[in-house]
Chains A and B, each alone.
Chain A
Amino acid sequence: MSIFDLGPHATFIWLSYIAVVIVITGLISWLIFDGQRQRAALKDLEDRGVRRRSSVSSDTGQNQ
């Protein structure tokens, strides 16, 4: 008996697993894509000479 012989309700089992794979793959790819997009935006800004902290030097009282 093959391990992929899942009896009369195989469709339901496969559908469930496929749904999980699709949703999780979707989440992971979105997370990776989003991360790359933010990194690209950050790099673009840094290349244009925008500094991370506010360009104004007054940092008074901002650190508790």
Chain B
Amino acid sequence: MHRKTEAGVNIGRRPCAVVPPGGWPRRLPPPFNPCFHEPAIVKLVAENLVVDRGGRTILDGLSLAAIGGEALLLTGPNGAGKTTLLRTLAGFLPQVSGTIRFEGGDADKTIAEQAHVVGHGNGVKANLTVHENLLFWAAFLETEAAAERVRTALTHFGLDALDHYPAAYLSAGQKRRLGLARLLVAHRPLWFLDEPTMSLDTASTTRLAVAIDAHTAGGGLVLAATHLPLGLARARTFDLPSALPGFRTTAAEARL
């Protein structure tokens, strides 16, 4: 079974992203593209990804493309490889074959350095206060105007009233919000969110959706593994096919 699903590159309203057939004329470079002067249209392209994990091939020839300004929601049954895909795109997991490109970003940085990754863990320390937790991430990720951004992030996720409490006192949902608030303390064009709505109530989910919309409105790119329709303004779903009968031997082991 082939699992090559080419997600459309063009998401409407941005005809500028379409390159004329045959490419740009040699002496007429992209400035003719009406969008060329718009800064940093980022684009994440994965082609023919094959990824092994724990002795199985989880992704087998997967391709996708996403452009800044949209949120790509990854759906699919358990074991379809949503987490694997996110971690591969972030550069944590090496692919067996296939390519991942991030265009329009900072060429000197890796994809991971231009991305926020929110996994199942929140990266929250129980013995630091809510404010200290965020301030640490702001300083560690080397943000400018850290104090101000921390304030905005806390307000956005409704944690400003709790900011002097140690995170140990927070409920699971509040901890998740604190984990998500990290998204706002440092600007990074790419967001990789793995089940971001885990333990969130409806109101908090809305706060997250607003943050995602604001990020995409600014040209950012969000990839989120989630089943909830977040009510996003600019979202597209990408359905990862079921893993059945995709339990297969890894490429590495099949060669033995």
**A–B interface present (Cβ within 8 A):** yes
Interface residues of A (CB under 8 A from B): 52-56, 58-64
Q: Are A62 and B96 in contact (CB under 8 A)?
A: yes
B110 at the interface (CB under 8 A from A): no
For the complex, what is the distance from the CA of A59 to the CA of B50, rounded to whole Å?
Answer: 10
For the complex, what is the distance from the CA of A8 to the CA of B58, rounded to whole Å?
Answer: 67
Given A60-B61, A61-B96, A62-B97, CB of A54 within 8 Å of CB of B48: no
**For chain A, what secondary structure do more than half of its interface residues adopt (helix, strand, loop), or is it mixed?**
loop
For the complex, what is the distance from the CA of A58 to the CA of B48, rounded to whole Å?
Answer: 12
**For chain B, what secondary structure do more than half of its interface residues adopt (helix, strand, loop), or is it mixed?**
mixed
Q: Are B2 and A54 in contact (CB under 8 A)?
A: no
Given A56-B1, A56-B248, CB of A61 within 8 Å of CB of B48: yes
Q: Are A62 and B98 in contact (CB under 8 A)?
A: no
B70 at the interface (CB under 8 A from A): no
Q: Are B97 and A64 in contact (CB under 8 A)?
A: yes
Q: Are B61 and A61 in contact (CB under 8 A)?
A: yes
Total CB contacts across the A-B interface at under 8 A: 38
Chain A to chain B contacts (Cβ below 8 Å), 21 pairs: A53-B249, A54-B249, A54-B254, A55-B248, A56-B60, A56-B245, A56-B248, A58-B3, A58-B60, A58-B61, A60-B50, A60-B60, A61-B48, A61-B61, A61-B97, A61-B98, A62-B96, A62-B97, A62-B251, A62-B255, A63-B255
How many chain B residues touch the partner (CB < 8 A)? 18
Tell me which residues across on chain A come within 8 A of B3, comparing CB atoms: 58
B29-57 residues with Cβ-Cβ distance < 8 A to A are 48, 50, 57
B250 CB, min distance to chain A CBs, angstroms: 9
Tell me which residues across on chain B come within 8 A of A60, comparing CB atoms: 2, 48, 50, 60-61
Tell me which residues across on chain A come within 8 A of B97, comparing CB atoms: 61-62, 64
Which residue of chain A has its CB nearest to the CB of B49? A61
Q: Are A53 and B254 in contact (CB under 8 A)?
A: yes
- Option from A55, A58, A62, A63 in Cβ contact (under 8 Å) with B2: A58
B150 CB, min distance to chain A CBs, angstroms: 44
A31 CB, min distance to chain B CBs, angstroms: 19
- Option from A52, A58, A59 in Cβ contact (under 8 Å) with B1: A58
B94 CB, min distance to chain A CBs, angstroms: 13
Given A54-B249, A56-B245, A56-B248, CB of A62 within 8 Å of CB of B1: no
